[in-house]
Each structure stands twice: as C-alpha cells, then as structure tokens.
C-alpha cells in the first residue's frame, strides 16, 4: 500500500507542478445536461455485472475555447436501489462528431480513482467523487465523453446491482452499454425496450487553464515525414517490450530556461495480435552516456495506461494518447528518453525516414534484450514514437522561439519572458519582403519571399529600459503551393449505391501544380488509400461524397509539402418507379397488338419534376416521345421497351424496362354442320349431338374455355346440352367462342344446325340356336334385313356387336355368335342422303343350353351284384340308352345296366321353339374283392406296419378295424399284437391279418398311480415260451419274467430299487434273442 500511495503522491506533485505552470485560473465550470439538481428514478435496468452510463459534452457550449485546458477535479452521479456490492469510476474520453462510430479505448484522457457504491434505497442519492488526481483535457479538444463505469467483484455479484437516476428534464441524450446485452455505446432511446427519458444524472466540474503564456506546440520526433510503414520488428507474446526514442531538447528549440510540458504522445503499430494489449508512455531524464547511465530512478513521469484495440496487419495505425496528467520536464533536463511500454502482443510500426536510432528493452526473460536498452541496428526500423508539448519560460532571460516548419508558409516567432518586454523590433533578414521585413509584435508571423538562409534579429527593450539584441539564423524552406482543385462530379453508376465508376480526374494534377515543376504529387482517398497516380476513370470508395487529399511535395524533400483537398461528388441517378408489364391480345394472329401506354411517364416519374423521359424500342431505336396511343409493338409477340429518365440539371439518367407481351390468339377450328333427325317433319330436332363440339373447336389446345352465343348474341348454356334442340326451324347458326383462360384472348367460329327426316325401322325377333359348344352356335340371319326395312328404299343398314365392333352388312346367313350364350346385335339404319339421320334398334342371339344329363362318368359295382339301375330327368322329350355293342337298352328315363363297359345316353329337349339334343358317355366297372397279400413291419424301436393288398377297387387301411386311412403305411406304432384290415371303399368286401410288434418301454414309474407301474415287453404274450431276465448295472439278476407275467414292479426282495438305468435280455423261445436297457424313475 505504501508503494501505491507513493505513486499517487508523485503523480499529484507532478500535477501541482503542471498547475503552477499556468498563470491564470478561472472559476469552476460544471458540465451537465440535467435541468435541476433533484435526481429521480428512471426506467433503466441494471444487472450484477459491469455496465456503463455516459454523457457527451461539447466544451464550447460551456465557454471552453480551443486554447484552454480544462482541468476536471470532481464528478457527480446519482444512483438508487444500490445493494452495496459494486464500485464506480469516472472515465474521460476525447470524442468527435462521429461518436460512437469513431470511439476507441485509446481516446481515454484519464480516470478518477475507484470508489465504492454505498447501499442506497429507492430514493436516489448523489455520489460526489473528488478526483485524487485531476484529469486535464488538453487544448484543442472539442468534445468529451464522461463515462461512469460500474465495476463488480465476482465474490459480491449478488449485491452488485445499482440503478442510474436521472432528472425530469434534460438537454441531451444519455448513452449506455453493459450487462452482456449492449456491447457498444448506445443511446437509451435505441435500447430494447427503449428508455426515452433516462436523463442520466452525470456531471463533472473543473477549472480553465489558459495557454496564452506558453510556447507554441512543439513536436519531438525523429521521423522526418509523417508517413508510417510496417517494419520487421519482433514483438513478445508475453509482453514486457519497451520501445523508445531519445531526444536532445535543444535540437527542438527547448532551452535550459524553459520547462517542457508534455501533454500527449503518438505511437504507431503495424498490428495488435490480441485483445488485451496495454501501453504506457514513460519519460526519463538521460544524459550523453545513455544507455549505460539509464536508471529507473530518473523517471520524470508517466501517462495513464491505455488499452489498444485489436487490429490486423492491413495498414499501420497511429494512436495519439492524451496525458490526463501532463508531464513537466524541468529546465535543467537536456535529454529525455520517451519510452512506450507494451504489455501484450503488439508490433510497432516505423517512419519512412528517421534522423536518429531507435531503442528496445525487454522486461521479459523470453525476449531479448533483457533489462537493458539496445540500439536497433537495422536502419530500416525507425520506431514511430513522438511527444508533443509546450514550453514555459521560467527565467528572466530573453529568448527567441521560432516555428520553422517547412509545411507552413507563415513562420512564427516569439520572445520568451514576454512579461518583461516593453517593446520589440523584429528584422527577418528578408529585405525583398519590403515593409513586411519588420514587425513590432511580441509573436509575429512572416512569409519569406524566398527560400534560403535568413538571420532573424529581435531588438528588445525591457521594462527596466535596458536593450537586448538577440539573433538566430535559420534555413527557410517553404512548401510548394497546392493550388485549389475544382470538385468533380459524376453520375451514379448503379442507382442508390452512391458509387460512380466514371470520375474523370485527368486534370487534377495539372490544377494542383499550377505550372510548378520538380514536385511530387500524391493522393489519399477517403479511406486512406494512397496513390501516386489516380486511376482513370476513378471510382469513389466512400458513398455519395468522398474527399480526396492531394499532397504536393518538393521532389528533393518529400517531407516538405502542402496539401489541399477536393471532393468527388456522386450525382444520384433519378429514382424510377417500377413500370408494370403490359399485355394484350394479338389482333390478326401475327404477334402484333395495340397497347395503351399513356400512363407510363407518370408511373416512372412518380411525381418527380425536372426530368425528361425518352423511350427506345427492343432494337434500341429511339421512339417518339410521348409514345403514340395506341402503340403497336415493333417486334412480334414480345418487345422490351427501355425508358430513360434524365435529370435535366445533372444530365444523369437512369433506365428501366418494361415488356409488352402479345398473347397469342387461340384457334377456333371450323366445325362441321350438325344434322339432327326431325322425327315429325316440323323442322325441329332434339337429337343434335354436341358432345364433340368442344373437342373439335379446341383441338389440341389446352387451357381454353368455350362459350356459345345465338344469332342475337345471347349467351347459351355452357356446355351446350347434349342432345341439343334447335330453336330456329330447319337451320340455325350458333357462334362458338374459344378463350385462352390465362390471357382472356379469344377467337370465334360458326356452328350450323340442319334437320333431316329420320328412317322408320321394324323390330326384328331374337334368333335362337342350340349350343354347339361353350355357349356358341350358328344362327340363321337370312330374314333379318327384310324384317327391318320392309318395303323402304334409300336406306343403309349397319350392324355392330355389343362392344361396338362393326359386323358385315348384310350379315352372313349362318352367323356365329362371339359372346357365349347371349349376344346383342346393334342395328343402325341410315338415310343415304344424310347419314346423320338414322334409326337404331337391336336384337339378341340366344344360345339354348343343351339338356343337362346328371350321370357320373363311372359307376362301380361288386362282382357279387347282378346289375345297377340308373335314372335321369324325366322331363326330356326323348331318351336313348345305348350299350357298348350298340344295342338299345332303354327309351325311358330309367335303364338297368348289367355288363361292364361304356354306355351312351342321348336326350332331346324343346326350348324357344327348337329341339336340342345332348349325349353323355359313362362307364360301368365291376370291382374285385380286396385281399391282403403281405404285411411288412418293424419292431424294437423301428416300429411300422405296411399292408400290401391286391384288387382293383379303392381301398382304405386300418390297424384296429375302427380308424381307416388311405395310406397303407403306419409309422411309430406301439409294440403289441395287432389285427390289420383292408376294405373296399365302395363296399366290395374286406380282408384282415394278425401281426405282432415286439417292443419295450424305455422307462417306467412304479409309484402305484396306475400309470407305468410295471415294466414288460409289449407283444410278449404271443410267445408263451419266452423268458426275460432283468439286471442292475453291475450284472446282478433282479427279476425273471414269463410271457404271461404282469411285469416287474421295481422291487428286489420286496424292497424298491433306486431310480436308475437297468438292463434286460429276452429269449422269445423261438430262437429269437435281444437285449436292451430302460430307466426306472421315481
């Protein structure tokens, strides 16, 4: 804490020294926009993170001139609903008329100390902050931003909220950023939601300090010109680099009789690689033995620490840092070191030319030279570091100060210790200037008549009557003239862009030189781009109006120059209202139409005056203006008309286009005359067929609508009724209109209606025939035509089937139907004189189905039966039963069939007046009794039974005489004694045979539940001499069974044996032996 207080004391003592440099102190001035001193609550929000409240002030509004310094010593802000967990600081920034766009953190002039925000309730309270070190706003500053920054501690975020108060009335806007919502200074009226009456209660108070008794501003620089370039100087990622230049004060006209008050510094960077770079100017006293004599103890003063914004390497930037507390160099200091301390990755830039070396030092062990100053040996690296200040004469000696700046035509001269001067007579050593060679002003200006060496003499009479003569010889070099250049105008290239690519700047160089030779001319456009020759034609890079700076320099001294400016001004193109396209229907199917374009001019001008309108057709030919009405397009189908609107004052023109679309006229195809049959000779017919009218008149066209009109123009129903009845006797004309639905263009044609007499025809009878197979038969049509027409003549008969397929006319005498059983034959009888007048009828071809014989194809009887009696439908006309040898058996519905063979039955039946017969063939088969020839079987696990039987019947098979199946094979049969059967399905006998399947169960469960309680070989009862021996796993005989025993119950010596596997041997007593094993389960 002691160290920090020491720094504050040093800064404060430096500030007192600075204040003592001014002789005049004016009254306190408060900068405020608030009306009244009573703060009130506002609608502003707050949050628990950082936020800033700010006001802008134009100093001249408060009586502060460009020659005054304004020393701010206190500030006031009103807050309410503050929870006491945050603090605040006043920050003073220099701004310009482009704020906030032009604002930068490098424009910080100075800040107050940080003070805690107390706990404040709902009633606003004013917090008065007296600055520990006042902030000095330098002369020449026109506007400042006073920002109150609310700071927070992450440990007390829950109490960091504080609300800014305002006043009822105010004279300017309030600005805000913060709360992670607003990231740039924004007017409160533009917030979301807007706060229209925020009226932040923020003001600062300070004093004026005049600079009238100080010397003119003096720039300490080794950069010969003010051009800034990139240099290959490394930077240090971790910061800690110090860039420096040394200055001998006498080289810049600062004598040992003067203090030098530094209030600003300049440094240029080629790029800044991170967002948290900080810089600070430090001024050290040094001597001729620098750098070996360098000591931190020789620090005279430091600027505030300033953040530098991140930017890329497109173009170096110069940053001017205003020292909130100016640094006073005592009069006994001959040399100073101006050091820029960089914290962060920043790459310094340099001047194009330099008159001294640059110095570098590092406080970071990772970047050389560590903790020592080294001269930069690369001659192309000349750090751009300058400081500016004013001299303050502190002795009674008279001295001459001269401003000999090449870029100024008027050189300024000044006698220091002016308070003791009674009078002075200047001789500028320029007799060619005539009476202007002398002056009696304390601080005169002189424009030398010629370049060269001139001795300046000042004869001073002091207030004590003594006379002192001082002189100084200077080398005068005046800048070349930069003659005025006329502004250049050009028409905007693309409407509403503010950009023109047609500026003719070919005479600019001639104008600015005005006949001077050996001069270098350079140009800087509105975005800082430099040119040695302006592009032709030139395109502005700043919308609407761009100021071009023109520098004229001596060819042998490019740092001695004059500058002038001119503007390239974009004349806007006329504003054109869009013109709708015009559409009309062609007049004669040739792609041309009449258009009414009388409204085009009013539409395109939209009320503008001072404009001329011209037109061009699709081929670029200028048209008559105004356009003829109607206008007929010059290009068929589609024509683009260009409309040019010219500003009569600027001759700038803009063009737009509209299109004339000629819609194609549809085709109304010619229609055949419709003839309707007049059934009663009254001239009217209700049979006009209009079904194809629309398709005929439209053809292949699509998107068409068809309408109809009578001879009087009355609209008829649409579509026309079908059939249609004429309303005018014998003949009638109907107008048919075809309209393109999309364009409403139409064409018309006529439909003629005529009536004709209808033929009279007789209805023919249906024809019948017997089915010749599958419902088809041949029909006798010989009388059909005569029946239809009778004695009429001049008629033609047409036949067609039900599908509309044409049939021969006349019909074949023997006609085969093409549709089974029933077919309709359509008949159309036309009048040969008018085929559209016809009569129609139809008749049917009906196929009589043959009488149906309900017999089976085959009958079976056993050989034991003598005969079979058969019977059919008794309603037939006749019967004929024929045996295989051709003998007639019966002529009745019944017949007795005895012998095996093939029989025929023929029957007849009368239907629809004709007799049809049918014949049916059937067989009689006598069956042989079935007989079992052999029974195949398997046993001992592979159990099956297969019955082999002979006979010619249909057989069924069974192993129990109850359940029968068609297959003679039985699988997976159980062991035992079976009687197998075969029988004739038609009842012609059966046969049987016994078969034994020997097998044994694989397990048994002797638990007396009635299931599987005993184990024995199945089928063993068929072998009375059989013996079965049962053993345990060790071969011990447990039981012996005979064929008639019930089986083993799992006991040995009356005791139940355990669940296990047991073995047996079987001797069937007929030479058959086998063995196996089974499981006893408990």
Instruction: Please report the DSSP string for 326-372 in residue order.
Output: EEEEPTT--EEEEEEEEESSEEE-EESSBSS--EEEESSTTSSSBTS
Side-chain-side CA neighbours of 449 within 13 Å: the count stands at: 10
Residue range 223-229: mean pLDDT, rounded: 82
Give dist(CA 323, CA 263) in Å, integer: 5
pLDDT of residue 794: 78
Q: How far is CA 789 from CA 667, 761, 781, 943, 1015, in A?
A: 44, 6, 14, 88, 102
The CATH architecture that domain 1003-1080 belongs to is Sandwich (2.60)
Q: What is residue 405's predicted lDDT score, i.e. its pLDDT?
A: 66
pLDDT winner (highest mean) among 80-89, 738-747, 865-874: 80-89
What pLDDT score was predicted for residue 792?
82
Peptide bond just before 1076 cis, omega within 30 deg: no
Spatial distance between the Cα atoms of 487 and 567, rounded to a whole number of angstroms: 5
Under the banding of pLDDT at 50, 70 and 90, the label for residue 476 is confident
Six-digit token string for 591: 């792609």
The CB-side HSE value for 328 (13 A sphere, CA atoms) comes to 21
Report the pLDDT value the prediction gives residue 2, as an integer from 0 to 100.
Answer: 35
Q: Which class for 258: exposed (0-12), middle (13-18), buried (19 or more C-beta within 10 A)? A: buried
Fold agreement (582-663, 767-848): yes
d(CA 830, CA 1060): 106
Pairing of strands 359-362, 86-95: unpaired
Higher pLDDT, 207 or 861: 207
Is the pLDDT confidence value at 345 over 60?
yes
Across the chain, mean pLDDT equals 90
The answer to whether 752 and 731 are in contact (CB under 8 A) is yes
The span from the CA of 464 to the CA of 531, in Å, is 58
Whether residue 135 is predicted with pLDDT greater than 50 in this model: the reply is: yes
| Of 111, 149, 103, 155, the residue nearest 131 (C-alpha) | 111
Least confident among 256-265, 310-319, 652-661, 961-970: 310-319
- Cβ neighbors of 218 (< 8 A, separation 6 or more) are 252, 253, 254, 260, 388, 389, 390, 391
The stretch 217-242 carries a mean pLDDT of 85
* Architecture of the domain spanning 858-927: Sandwich (2.60)
Q: What CATH architecture does domain 582-663 belong to?
A: Sandwich (2.60)
Average pLDDT in the 303-324 region? Answer: 88
Of 338-352, 803-817, 827-841, 897-911, the range with the lowest mean pLDDT is 827-841
As a whole number, mean pLDDT of residues 219-229 equals: 86
Predicted confidence (pLDDT) at residue 409 exceeds the cutoff of 70 = no
CB-count burial class (<10 Å; 0-12, 13-18, 19+) for 742: exposed
Lowest mean pLDDT among 23-27, 726-730, 781-785: 23-27
Assigned CATH class of 399-472: mainly beta
Q: Quick one: pLDDT at residue 954?
A: 82
Within 10 angstroms of residue 1062's Cβ, the number of other Cβ atoms is 20
Residue 57 has pLDDT above 60, yes or no: yes
- As a whole number, mean pLDDT of residues 699-713 equals 94
972 has pLDDT over 80: yes
Tokens 């032009």 correspond to 102
1060 and 1071 Cβ atoms separated by less than 8 Å: no
Beta strands 795-800 and 1037-1042, pairing class: unpaired
Q: Please say if the pLDDT value at position 372 is more than 90.
A: yes
pLDDT tens-digit series, residues 817-845: 999 999 999 999 988 867 778 888 999 99
225-238 average pLDDT score: 85
Return the CATH number of the domain spanning residue range 674-757: 2.60.40
SS3 content of the chain, % helix, strand, coil (to 5): 5, 45, 45
Task: Look at residue 991 in the predicted model and tell me its pLDDT.
Answer: 87
C-alpha closest to that of 228 among 279, 268, 265: 268
Tell me what pLDDT residue 239 has. Answer: 66
Position with higher pLDDT, 528 vs 539: 539
Residue 404 has pLDDT above 70, yes or no: no
Domain 218-393 matching CATH 2.60.120: the answer reads yes
Taking the C-alpha atoms of residue 137 and residue 325, their distance in angstroms, rounded to an integer, is: 9
The per-residue pLDDT for 616 is 94
For 1006-1026, the pLDDT digits (tens) are: 999 988 899 999 988 889 999
Point out the least confidently predicted range of 128-132, 143-147, 591-595, 1017-1021. Answer: 1017-1021
Name the CATH topology of 767-848.
Immunoglobulin-like (2.60.40)
Q: What is the pLDDT of residue 396?
A: 66
Residues in the chain: 1082
Phi, psi of 326 (to 5 degrees): -55, 150
CATH architecture entry for 931-997 = Sandwich (2.60)
Instruction: Name residue, tokens 């404040």.
Output: 120
Q: What is the pLDDT of residues 924-949, one digit of tens each?
A: 887 777 889 899 998 888 899 999 99
pLDDT grade for 16, boundaries at 50, 70 and 90:
very low
φ, ψ (nearest 5 deg) of residue 105? -65, -20
Q: What is the CATH number that goes with domain 22-210? A: 2.60.120
pLDDT at 88: 97
Is 20 a residue whose pLDDT tops 60? no
**Segment 950-959, tens digit of pLDDT:** 887 788 999 9
853 or 989, which is more confident?
A: 853
Name the DSSP class of 23: S
The domain segmentation of the chain, as residue ranges, is 22-210, 218-393, 399-472, 488-571, 582-663, 674-757, 767-848, 858-927, 931-997, 1003-1080
Q: Which residues pair with 992 in a beta bridge?
A: 981
Per residue in 638-675, pLDDT tens? 999 999 999 999 999 999 999 999 999 999 999 998 88
């Amino acid at each position: 804490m002691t160290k920090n207080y020491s720094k504050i004391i040093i800064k404060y003592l430096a500030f007192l020294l600075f204040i003592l440099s001014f002789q005049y102190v004016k009254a306190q001035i408060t900068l405020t926009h608030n009306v009244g001193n009573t703060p009130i609550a506002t609608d502003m929000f707050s949050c628990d993170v950082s936020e800033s409240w700010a006001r802008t002030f134009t100093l001249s509004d408060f009586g502060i001139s460009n020659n005054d310094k304004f020393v701010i010593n206190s500030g006031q802000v009103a807050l309410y609903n503050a929870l006491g967990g945050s603090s605040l600081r006043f920050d003073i920034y220099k701004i310009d008329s482009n704020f906030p766009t032009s604002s930068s953190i490098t424009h910080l002039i100075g800040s107050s100390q940080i003070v805690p925000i107390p706990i404040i309730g709902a009633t606003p309270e004013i917090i008065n902050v007296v600055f520990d070190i006042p902030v000095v706003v330098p002369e020449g500053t026109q506007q400042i931003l006073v920002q109150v920054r609310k700071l927070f501690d992450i440990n007390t975020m829950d109490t960091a909220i504080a609300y800014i108060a305002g006043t009822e009335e105010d004279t300017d806007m309030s600005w805000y950023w913060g709360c992670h919502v607003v990231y740039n200074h924004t007017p409160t009226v533009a917030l979301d939601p807007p706060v229209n009456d925020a009226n932040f209660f923020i003001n600062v108070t300070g004093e004026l300090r005049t600079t009238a008794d100080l010397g003119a501003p003096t720039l300490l620089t080794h950069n010969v010109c003010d051009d800034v370039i990139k240099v290959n100087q490394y930077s240090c990622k971790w910061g800690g680099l110090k860039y420096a230049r040394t200055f001998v004060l006498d080289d810049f006209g600062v004598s040992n009789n003067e203090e030098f008050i530094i209030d600003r510094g300049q440094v240029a960077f080629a790029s800044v690689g991170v967002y948290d770079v900080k810089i600070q100017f430090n001024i050290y006293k040094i001597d001729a033995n620098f750098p070996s004599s360098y000591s931190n103890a020789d620090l005279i003063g430091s600027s505030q620490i300033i953040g530098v914004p991140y930017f890329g390497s497109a173009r170096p930037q110069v940053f001017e840092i205003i020292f909130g507390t100016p640094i006073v160099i005592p009069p006994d200091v001959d040399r100073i070191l101006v050091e820029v301390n960089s914290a962060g990755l920043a790459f310094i830039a340099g001047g194009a030319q330099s008159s001294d070396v640059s110095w570098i030092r590092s406080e970071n062990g990772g970047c050389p030279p560590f903790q020592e100053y080294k001269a930069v040996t690369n001659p192309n690296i000349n750090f751009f570091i300058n400081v500016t200040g004013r001299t303050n004469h502190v002795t009674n000696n008279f001295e001459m100060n001269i401003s000999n700046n090449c870029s100024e035509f008027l050189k300024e001269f000044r006698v220091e210790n002016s308070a003791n001067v009674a009078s002075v007579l200047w001789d500028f050593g320029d007799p060619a200037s005539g009476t202007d060679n002398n002056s009696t002003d304390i601080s005169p200006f002189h424009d030398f008549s010629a370049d060269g060496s001139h001795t300046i003499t000042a004869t001073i009479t002091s207030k004590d009557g003594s006379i002192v003569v001082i002189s100084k010889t200077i080398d005068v070099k005046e800048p070349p003239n930069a003659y005025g250049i006329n502004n250049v105008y050009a028409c905007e290239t693309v409407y509403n862009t503010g950009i023109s690519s047609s500026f003719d700047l070919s005479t600019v160089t001639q104008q600015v030189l005005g006949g001077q030779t050996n001069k270098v001319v350079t140009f800087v456009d509105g975005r800082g781009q430099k040119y040695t020759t302006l592009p032709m034609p030139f395109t502005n890079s700043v919308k609407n109006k761009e100021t071009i700076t023109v520098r004229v320099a001596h060819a042998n001294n490019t740092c001695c120059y004059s500058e002038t400016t001119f503007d390239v001004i974009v004349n806007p193109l006329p504003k054109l209202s869009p013109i709708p396209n015009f559409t009309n229907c062609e007049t004669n199917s040739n792609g041309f139409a009449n258009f009414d374009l009388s409204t085009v001019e009013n539409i395109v001008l939209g009320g503008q005056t001072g404009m001329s309108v011209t037109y061009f057709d699709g081929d670029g030919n200028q048209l008559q203006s105004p356009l003829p009405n109607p206008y007929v397009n010059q290009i068929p189908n589609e024509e683009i008309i260009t409309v040019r609107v010219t500003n009569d004052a600027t001759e700038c023109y803009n063009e737009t286009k509209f299109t004339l679309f000629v819609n194609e006229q549809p085709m109304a195809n010619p229609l055949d005359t419709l003839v309707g049959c007049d059934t009663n000779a009254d001239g009217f017919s209700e049979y006009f067929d209009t079904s194809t009218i629309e398709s005929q008149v439209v053809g292949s066209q699509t998107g068409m609508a068809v309408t109809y009109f009578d001879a009087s123009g009355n609209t008829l129903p649409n579509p026309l009724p079908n059939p249609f009845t004429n309303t005018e006797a014998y003949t009638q004309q109907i107008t048919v209109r075809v309209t393109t639905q999309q364009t409403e263009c139409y064409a018309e044609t006529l439909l003629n209606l005529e009536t004709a007499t209808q033929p009279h025809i007789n209805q023919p009878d249906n024809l019948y025939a017997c089915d010749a197979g599958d419902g088809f038969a041949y029909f006798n049509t010989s009388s059909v035509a005569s029946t239809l027409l009778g004695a009429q003549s001049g008629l033609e008969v047409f036949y067609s089937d039900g599908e509309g397929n044409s049939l021969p006319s006349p019909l074949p005498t023997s006609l085969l139907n093409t549709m089974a059983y029933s077919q309709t034959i359509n008949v159309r009888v036309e009048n040969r004189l008018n085929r559209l007048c016809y009569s129609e009828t139809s008749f049917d071809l009906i196929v009589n189905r043959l009488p149906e014989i309900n017999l089976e194809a085959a009958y079976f009887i056993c050989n034991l039966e003598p005969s079979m009696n058969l019977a059919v439908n008794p309603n037939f006309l006749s019967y004929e039963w024929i045996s295989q040898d051709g003998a007639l058996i019966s002529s009745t519905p019944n017949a007795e069939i005895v012998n095996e063979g093939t029989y025929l039955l023929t029957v007849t039946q009368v239907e629809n007046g004709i007799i049809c017969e049918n014949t049916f063939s059937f067989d009689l088969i006598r069956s042989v009794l079935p007989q079992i020839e052999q029974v195949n079987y398997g046993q001992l696990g592979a159990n099956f039974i297969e019955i082999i039987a002979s006979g010619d019947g249909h057989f069924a098979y069974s192993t129990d005489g109850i359940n029968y199946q068609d297959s003679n094979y039985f699988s997976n049969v159980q062991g035992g004694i079976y009687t197998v059967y075969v029988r004739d399905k038609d009842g012609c006998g059966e046969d049987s045979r016994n078969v034994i399947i020997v097998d044994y169960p694989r397990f048994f469960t002797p638990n007396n539940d009635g299931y599987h309680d005993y184990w024995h070989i199945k089928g063993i009862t068929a072998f009375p001499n059989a013996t079965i021996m049962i053993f345990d796993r060790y071969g011990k005989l447990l039981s012996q069974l005979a064929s008639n025993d019930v089986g083993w119950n799992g006991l040995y010596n009356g005791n139940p044996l355990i669940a296990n596997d047991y073995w047996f041997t079987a001797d069937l007593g007929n030479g058959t032996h086998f063995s196996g094993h089974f499981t006893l389960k408990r």
